[in-house]
Structure 1
């Protein structure tokens, strides 16, 4: 029987059908950045944990840029029921119900997750990361391989992805949105969609971005920390240089219609992840889990087997 084992949110967090409906506006203390070679100070991330057999490695899902933990709700429930494992979904810093911080480095995001895994007693785990979450997962596996039983990187590689990503354009369009105060939510969402549509033509992408539009004290704002994301967009699109490799089983799960992972990336993938397998999901774009959820679940189950 599926049970919601534990969920931590900021005191004002409320779960919603797609992403939580209120922003995590806590700010990390000054000095939480990764400057001067100091270890990044971890943040207390928001998460949801589905119960399962403690003897088997848990599945841990990390969302991509502009996403949140509830992007994986139906997939997490399906895998918890089908595999009997614990399933953890996590909001990255500056996303969902997790606190905001000026630091958006992968080192900081990896440290956040390391602390959470150890706090919950979920190491070693099966780490599943999409896009930005996939880069966080890859770095954690390279830094602390003992915490990762196996790794799944979803439509991302340990390479710079600026040339194929429209995320900088999305950020600029989101920052330009202006909504009058005290308008109804339905009107606010329509206004925001109209303003985004001049730059972002894909309706599905706009709807995804609009899951981050929330009301705070009668004003509509973006729940993600756009200032930090925009300031560090080059860092998010890149990947920290690494010499060590992760020797555990690794799956790169790619969308057939996506351009994020190019064959020219394969040598670096093989260098860092010698046991890597490549699998392509037909009729899927960059958001593989949203485009083909059943195929996504089947691929994960096949890799676990």
Structure 2
């Protein structure tokens, strides 16, 4: 039986829960500023290390053969662990009238170091169960690979989530398998170069104005912790076409992207495709000048787009 994903848990135990899913070569702790921010606004944050990242289990050969599906299964298992199996627990807004009301207002819109960041572990060193309090189901917030995974989880298991925030998701089918393997090989070479000069890797991260100081060292560490065998596959998303999944989403969803050429994965062209799909449950935010990492490249605009949406969905927000 596979071990559970490692995770960071911070914030009030009885608060609405946000589940953070990072991108390829990232980790839970490399999102420290986001964890701090949302805990400060009254949320409970569970930031998970994806399989083969951070302190989570490594990939087996059998798992690598179906890596995209395993990413989805891991998040489903995490959500099932977080949600208490208690009779009478309120139904997820994802399947109730509240969601239909929220989604009815959805529209495609124009641009508009953590205090409690500690892994929860028992004496065995494995993460303890950290069930959410009865109430709204968690909201998935994913970036890139994490966003693609969150999207598919929300499509397949809407009973487990209240909604999803997709930060410039990786789009399955937009690159050939050969191109994906080449990009994976490039990431592997970059990882090896950083490993050969860790002080230089940290210095470069600290010098990058678009990487928060509180995440620079953690990001360099995360890059070293990624399982090279996953990079060999080139997998960065579950094997579900992006437009198909977006059309099938039945929970409130916010997609955030940028317009920086050569960086943003969805961008204005992707938003045009979404407009044609016309799923009323999806809202979008286009952040002018933002790159693929929308939170880091345009932080003020990012919080201004995401926080009100979360507050409206979950009724939390800064206390």
TM-score by structure 2 length?
Answer: 0.63
1:115 is matched with which residue: 61, 77, 82?
A: 77
Residues 229-282 of structure 1: CA distance to partner in whole angstroms, max 9, x if unpaired? 212x0x325642467812111111012313311525754686595421121122
CA distance in 2, matches of 1:126, 1:57: 8
Query: How does 1:1-305 map onto structure 2 within 5 Å?
Result: 42-52=2-12, 54=14, 57-82=16-41, 84-102=42-60, 103-104=63-64, 105-121=67-83, 122=132, 124-156=137-169, 158-162=171-175, 167-168=183-184, 170-174=186-190, 177=193, 188-190=198-200, 211-212=219-220, 222-231=224-233, 233=234, 235-236=235-236, 239-241=239-241, 245-257=248-260, 258-262=263-267, 263-264=269-270, 266-267=272-273, 271=277, 274-304=280-310, 305=312
- Per-residue displacement from partner, 1:146-202 (whole Å, max 9, x unpaired)? 11111111012544343898843532423654977xxxxxx5433x699x9xxxxx9
**Aligned equivalents of 1:179, 1:52: Cα separation in 2:** 37
Structure 1 unmatched runs, 5+: 1-40, 181-186, 197-201, 215-220
The 1:69/1:269 distance shift into structure 2, 3 A limit, reads: farther
CA separation in 2, counterparts of 1:270 and 1:213? 41
Structure 1 270/245 Cα, relative in aligned 2: closer, same or farther at 3 Å?
A: farther
- CA RMSD for the aligned pairs? 3.7
Return the offset for 1:209: 10
Distance 1:149 1:273, change over 3 A: farther
Structure having the higher helix fraction is 2
1:79–1:297 contact (8 Å) kept in structure 2: no
CA distance in 2, matches of 1:178, 1:119: 35
- C-alpha separation between the residues in 2 aligned to 1:158 and 1:179? 29
What is the CA–CA distance in structure 1 between the aligned matches of 2:307 and 2:174, rounded to whole Å?
28
| 8 Å CA contact 1:57, 1:149 repeated in 2 | no
Number of aligned residues: 241
Give 3-state SS (helix, strand or coil) of 1:101's partner.
coil
Considering fraction of residues, name the structure with more strand: 1
Partners of 2:239 and 2:251 in 1: CA distance: 20
